[in-house]
Structure formats: structure tokens, C-alpha cells
Structure 1
């Protein structure tokens, strides 16, 4: 059984399962493959090269929409994003609310420059919903000047002054939050309550094998509980596997119980398909 993953922190269960040996309790010979992005996993999954994947919910939706016989076993994380802006923008938002964007444009003669992952991603959907539904200030493209910023580069991009705001996943959100020059605009859990971010996704062959599927969920639950009980160890496991984007140094202090709760790791939700 081939298990694929994208090296991002919201796939925390995978790092724990690999480093703590939980995959060894699954009744199948497990091979781990690392992919650089969700789209690359989608391609390999659709070709039948992958049996199980830990990746974004939107990638899972793409595969199901294309007719792939597969489904979600569990959610890895949810509510894992913050909308962060400069202190000026955060102060405007506290004072003006939905009128923030008009106020900013009056002051600067331009729209707010907002850095975010690509269209159709979870943070893009949350950002659009926040602007268009929560704030009800119009179509996103008419309100802000959005640019594509990879999550791992969001910290340096916003700190360099190239953008005014970003929607960013943990642990990068906590890193920016430690800087007095920036403030929180909104938490994604308040924009779209309990929205999934990443999932444990399996093909039909795995779903039809109750022993394997059940064991995967059991080990996923164990990894979730490990993360809650030993957040520092879980953060170190993640940093050692990811090996890029955020070093183990900054991962340790943000691997606190409070920060991990931002991920709100879940083990039993989104059991979509029955055998």
C-alpha cells in the first residue's frame, strides 16, 4: 500500500505515524512517497500509483469530481488559517469593519495587496467567503489586489512589505503573530466554522478492506491523541520529516498545546464512504 503526503504541517498525523511507527500496525506493507504539491498527488492517484494520500480537501474533491473511486477516511486538520494584516490594516479593521478596504484605498490610493495561495485552494475559498459573504463588500477581485504567495514564503513576503495582508496556515500564522508590526484580522474557523483543510484519502480497494481501512483510522486517531498529549514531540517529528519551509528551531516553540489547537486535529469526522 502506497501512502503519499504533501510536506505541510496540517498533515501532522502522518509525521507522528511515521516517526512513532504507527504504520507498522496497519495490516499491509506500507510504502511512503513524498510529493511537492496536491496537484502532483492528484495525477499519481488518478493513475493508480497511490492508494492513500494525506493532502488538501480540494485535491480530494477534484479526484472525486473526476470519477475516481475513492473517499475520505478522516480529516487531518480544520480551521487552520488566519487572516493577518499590517498593524495599520488591523487597526482599520477594528475601527471600520467592512469599510476597511474603502478606507485603506482612500488613504493609499490603491487596493489592499493580499497574498494568498492559488484560486480554488482552501485559503482562497475562505478569503473569498470572508470578503463576499461575511463582509458583503463585493466580488473579491474588485475589493483587493490578490497575488499568489506560497505558504512557506508568506512570512518573508509580508514582512518585506510587498503585501499588506495574507491568509496563512499554521505554524506560519503564529510566526507572523509574534511580530508587533502585524495583527489578526480573522480566524478561518469563524469564517467557515469547522471547515476541513487536509484529509486522509483512500482508494476504493482500501475502503473495501475493512481491516486496512479500520486500522488506518485507528492509527490516525492514535496520532491525533499523541499530538494533543505531546505537542512538542509532534512538532519535532513534523519538522524532521518536512525538512524545509520551517526549521525545527521555530517549530518547537510553536508546538504548544494552544497553537496545536488552532489546527483542531480531528480523528473521527468526515467518514464519508461506508464499505
Structure 2
């Protein structure tokens, strides 16, 4: 049934004319369907890249006309560097690194959304209780009581969780510059539960399934805030492609079609999708924990790039305000809607 529908979508998509694209501030309409025989797809083994795991295990990449080779990277910065150097064709990574590349005149575009509202602020019970009682005043009260600022862990500067953390403190809570309020440590997501348990952090802006892992059955740690309440509908990761992929019109549509199929699979078979993620991510992630994380409101997976268009504009303005980009990156520069338009009609 999935195979039949997938091929129907592809057939319908290839019959629709391309609508054009803008990238890197001066993208003209893309024409033609240049062929690529091989396609490298990069990913970091994190939960928000759920679509890639489903596309891999369920064979959805088989309907892509190019020979797809997944390439695993240890960190987001490593993927961004490889993408900037034209070493990979397609990448699953955060929307803010994609903005930075486009701001630096990289000819590339976002084909699909992957996930949104994907983080929890998890805190020690001491910090969480204080926040629940005092709200925004919890930070100053904590500093007065402990003689130091709260220590909060997050991914590297410029990453989506880093930007959302800064937004939470500076805009949502209106506490001033983040550096004056908290001590931020760069901690990889997989190491965060251990850092919390060892007392190295008071709180963290963290994705699933690590938020579930930190709070699972442990009264010493609690959820302080959900990023969807901090910055509604904010995107997390996207499927980002080099301009050579976007110019290969049929190939771009095939990728989007496979991504749509993955979204359908995730919604209809969430536990199996979680098992696929667990199998590829590894690093001690159990099937049970991956499946439990699917129940979290921080587990939101879909394809439609239009769904993240408005919040992406808000992130772009904020990214420029705090100096992550030199200028506000527009949706016209960042997104390639044509392929989604073609296969979703």
C-alpha cells in the first residue's frame, strides 16, 4: 500500500511544473532536471532526525532515483562544515545553522521541515521548585541563595536549542542578556543526563529522548518549561539541500515524497519509528525509552515547510539581532517550496 501510494505521489509530482527558487539572496528560478547519480545524506544521530531513520529502515530512499549513501556525523558543527565545503549533498540539521550558511551566500535551500517545538527545559528539583514558585525571579533568587548563577547546559552556540535558550531568557522572561543571568555550558545531548545526575548542571535545554531520560522516574529532576510555550511552532531540524540537488527537479521531488511517506509512517506507527531511531542512534538508547519519548509534546514530526515559515521568520530576525547572522535571512532566501508544492497537490 505504501509503495503504491509513494509511486502515485511521485508520478503526480513530476507532472507539475517547477515554480522557481531563490537562495543566497539572489536565487533565480531553477529550471531543468539535472541528473545526480549519487546522493550523500548527512545526519547527526539525534531524535529530531526521525524522518531519516524511517526513510532508511523502511526503504523509502529506494524510490529516490540517485544512489543514496547516508553519512553519520558526530556533531552538528561537523555536518555544517562538511555541507559548507560541498562534501555532502543533503543534510538533516538545525534551521539556524541553515540560516547561517545562507547568510554566508551558500547556494542551498530547505526542502522540508522535520520537527518543531522539540525541547524541554529540565531542571534539578531545587531549581524547578524555585522556578515554579517564583517564575522569572527564580534566577536572581537562586544566585542569592547559592552564590552563583544557575548552570544551564545546551548544544553549541548558534544551534537551535542554544538560540531558543537565549530567546527564553532574553525575550520570553525579559531578564536581559543571557550571560548576565546564567552560566551556559556546551554539553552534547547524549551526555546531558550524566551531567545532570553528577550535579554539574542545574538545568538544560534538551531534546527528546534525553528529556524523558532525565525525568523518567526520578523526583530529583523536573520539567521547568517546554519550548513550544517559549517560542510557539519554532522549527528544530530541516532537510537542507545543495543547489545542485534543487536543480535536479525530479530528484528534489522524490526526496520530498519519501519524506512525506516517512511522516505518514511516524504518525501511523510511532513505536516502530522509535525503534528505527533507537537502532540507528545507538549510544545506549533503548527501544523503550525511544518509544516513551514519542508521547512527549516535544516529539512533533512533519514535512510541510509552510508550517514553519512564520516562526522561521521570527527566528531569523532574532538570529540577526543577537549576531548569529549578519542580516535577516528571508524565507525567499532560505526555503525551496517548489518540490513540496509539486508533490503535495
TM-score over 0.5 for the pair: yes
- Report the alpha carbon displacement of residue 210 of structure 1 after superposing the two structures with TM: 2.3
Shift of 1:141: 0.7
1:211 aligns with 2:247: no
**1:266 pairs with 2:302:** yes
SS at match of 1:30: strand
Higher strand proportion: 1
Q: Give the alignment of 1:177-256 within 5 angstroms.
A: 177-178=215-216, 179-244=218-283, 246-256=284-294
Following the alignment from structure 2 to structure 1, what is the Cα–Cα distance between the partners of residues 94 and 44?
A: 9
Q: Report the CA distance shift for 1:47/1:88 in structure 2 as closer, same or farther (over 3 A).
A: closer
Q: 1:121 to 1:240 in 2, by over 3 A?
A: same
Matched, 1:16 2:79: no
The CA RMSD over aligned residues, in Å, is 1.6
Quick one: distance in 2 between partners of 1:143 and 1:67? 34
Question: Displacement, 1:22?
Answer: 0.2
CA contact (8 A) 1:77 1:197 kept: yes
- Aligned pairs, how many? 272
1:47-126 map, 5 Å: 47-126=85-164
- Which range is displaced more, 55-64 or 69-78? 55-64
Equivalent-residue separation in structure 1 for 2:162 and 2:141 (angstroms): 23
Equivalents in 2 of 1:252, 1:117: separation in Å?
20
Deviation of residue 209 (structure 1)? 2.3
Q: 1:104 to 1:59 in 2, by over 3 A?
A: same
Which residues in structure 2 correspond to 1:125-144 (within 5 Å)? 125-144=163-182
Deviations 1:218-271 (A, max 9, x none): 111111111111111111111111122x42244344254x23x52211211258
**Partner residue in 2 for 1:44:** 82
Given that residues 5 and 35 in structure 1 are in contact (C-alpha distance below 8 angstroms), is that contact kept between their aligned partners in structure 2?
yes
1:10–1:197 Cα contact (<8 Å) kept: yes
Partners of 2:212 and 2:289 within 8 A in 1: no
CA contact (8 A) 2:120 2:225 kept: yes
* Higher CA-based Rg: 2
Structure 1: gaps spanning 5 or more residues: none
CA apart distance, 1:195:
1.0
Contact 1:232 1:255 in 2 (8 A): no
Cα distance per residue 1:165-198 (max 9 Å; x no partner): 1111111001112221111111111111111111
